[in-house]
Structure 1
């Protein structure tokens, strides 16, 4: 019997609603039949990556590292940071050196505004301690090799209060007209980047050049010789360059050579007397220890030498102003008896006497710190002085002073 259309339609509707015929419950049926809300966990759950998504590709093709690879990566990063730090330190060092080397020079002071030329002192100096320095008529200068202090005068004049005990000194007239001639000069540098500190030059009284010639000639030749032959000149240069022989020759000359000499020191940047004094004192102390240890000379170990060294320190600490500006002059003169006088000369050429040291041992050790030994304060200055005295011995004794005058 043929079923009616209404019955067929009703049976199809019931079959579609049977849950057993469905592989899963449709979401629409679940929402209609369920009376509960979704849990928070289902809302916050991380969805699974779908096929072809970036997350799936990242998980599939991401490189898996081992602990050894992580250690290598960390070490490479550490080395990179160390290299960058080293480059930064090197750059800072170069920047500091460039700042020091290329520091612009101070502007010249207006001389017209300085009418009185008075220098403020801690204590008033004596009238005899102030000297107007006569200018060199010809104005001859010698290049120093540095742009900060480009030249040094070939001739200077130094006054002295020492008695005229030598015939050469007695024939020079007034005490403040003693003429000194430049022997050699050089630049004093410090640290591994050779920072320039000051220019130093050795001067000798013109009338004492013959005495220096005689002592140098007799150091390698017969006592009756008045000049050196080429072979003896080479031997003298070798002796002066040798630390031991050079120190012995200069020690004898400075100790009892009856020679008036002076060191002219001009700083290349602003400094102070305390700084210079401490450097001089360290050099004197080291040289005295060297004589006591290596040469068994105990003459520098007694109490009188310590007292004289205190007098040397006092000469830099009292009376005159403490600052020494760039271009000003510190003059250390030594008379025929070995007494050392400390002078300060300002930019106008006015010289002030700061103090004296009567003990010749103090000045002698200070002189040797520039002239001879294994370590000197300025090697260029030592070489220049040797070149200068070699020019003296190339001529007969007594002829150089005549040509200078």
Structure 2
């Protein structure tokens, strides 16, 4: 009997709502005039049908009949919407948590953790970064002096290398001078992958097939807050005088060195997006000076990631060049340049670049790009391999612009370090820096 009674009550509830008459509420309002007293004269008016309907709907919305089908549907839809919103918030929280976990894992230095664990088990309380700073490419590191006159050298096997601090414990030092194969080596076949002779103990210094390069400045490339690699710019020691002269004469054509105010003017130009492009375009004009970038990853990576960064820098510089022509054609719109960029991509293929390995991008006086790589520089007997060569000077020029010129460079720290190194060059008379290095 319970089911028929419930259906009867549901039918009666709808009919009772239709038959119930609303109570007529009479309102009074005062009408005042100059002939009557407003407090003594009132007019009774009935509520309008619109206001009565609004009150009835408001009362029905506030107290829905739980047996009403429409009310049940509304309640069900509201519950679904609430649950759906909670699911969306929970999903966003899950995605953020997974992204944060992935970021933490990516930033972990497994080598340092493993080394710290070994030290903990052995009962030694040592700083892993200090131990890493104690050696450079298999040689012991010594600090001579203190303050501004401090020198850092790595000694071993009858050889001594002067070092510069990088600012990160992952790759703590860079050499002040390096030796790279000469592009005039008669045994070299352009475009063919080969092995370049290293600066071995038995053949140190600037030999027939090796040329000395001096560090200009360095910095750390970061993506967001993650350190990717340390990069330093080198110039062939024999070309320092030419670099000095061009930098000085850009500000003062008759000077041999710059005074402090002129140095500030040059520094502003080298940091300006437009003027820096013009200055470095002149410095990298061919035939000209030889330069190189030395890159050492602060964490294990691969050539694909490095290649993508290089190509992205080239694309940014070509976009800037097109914007300067206001939509006109540039020297980078040809099919030949497109093929050269593809050849650059082909050089970096299918290999890992472990933490501390060395990648060198060198640019000769004709703008030819050479790519050299040494996976384990701590092993002095391991040669630096030449991965490939690219004769199109536009590719190397845009790669260099990616660190030196334009609005947004690949590493602002490296750009600042290189500019500061140039300031040290121009404050000395032209030709004196090259003599000091030798």
Question: Which of 315, 339, 345 is 2:347 aligned to?
Answer: 315
1:31 alignment counterpart = none
Q: CA deviation at 1:375?
A: 1.1
Q: Is 2:193 the partner of 1:159?
A: no
Give the whole-Å Cα distance in 1 for the aligned partners of 2:436 and 2:407.
34
Q: How does 1:314-353 map to 2 (within 5 A)?
A: 314-317=346-349, 322-347=351-376, 348-349=379-380, 350-353=383-386
Q: Which has the higher contact order (CA 8 A, sep 6+)?
A: 1
Calculate the TM-score normalised by the size of structure 1: 0.66
Unaligned runs of 5+ in 2: 2-61, 65-70, 116-155, 187-204
Give the whole-Å Cα distance in 2 for the aligned partners of 1:141 and 1:65.
82
Q: How does 1:3-402 map to 2 (within 5 A)?
A: 90-105=96-111, 137-162=159-184, 174-190=207-223, 192=224, 194-222=225-253, 224-256=254-286, 258-295=288-325, 298-317=330-349, 322-347=351-376, 348-349=379-380, 350-402=383-435
- Alpha-carbon contact 1:345-1:352 (below 8 Å) kept: yes
Q: Higher strand fraction: Structure 1 or Structure 2?
A: 2
Unaligned runs of 5+ in 1: 1-40, 42-63, 109-133, 165-171
Q: 1:221 to 1:136 in 2, by over 3 A?
A: farther
Q: CA deviation at 1:290?
A: 2.2
Q: CA deviation at 1:378?
A: 0.7
Number of equivalent positions: 306
- Alpha-carbon contact 2:370-2:390 (below 8 Å) kept: yes
Give the whole-Å Cα distance in 1 for the aligned partners of 2:375 and 2:407.
34
Q: 1:227 to 1:361 in 2, by over 3 A?
A: same
Give the whole-Å Cα distance in 2 for the aligned partners of 1:335 and 1:301.
24
For the residue of structure 1 that corresponds to 2:159, the secondary structure is coil
| Alignment root-mean-square deviation, CA | 3.2
Larger displacement relative to structure 2 (354-363 or 68-77): 68-77
- Alpha-carbon contact 1:158-1:180 (below 8 Å) kept: yes
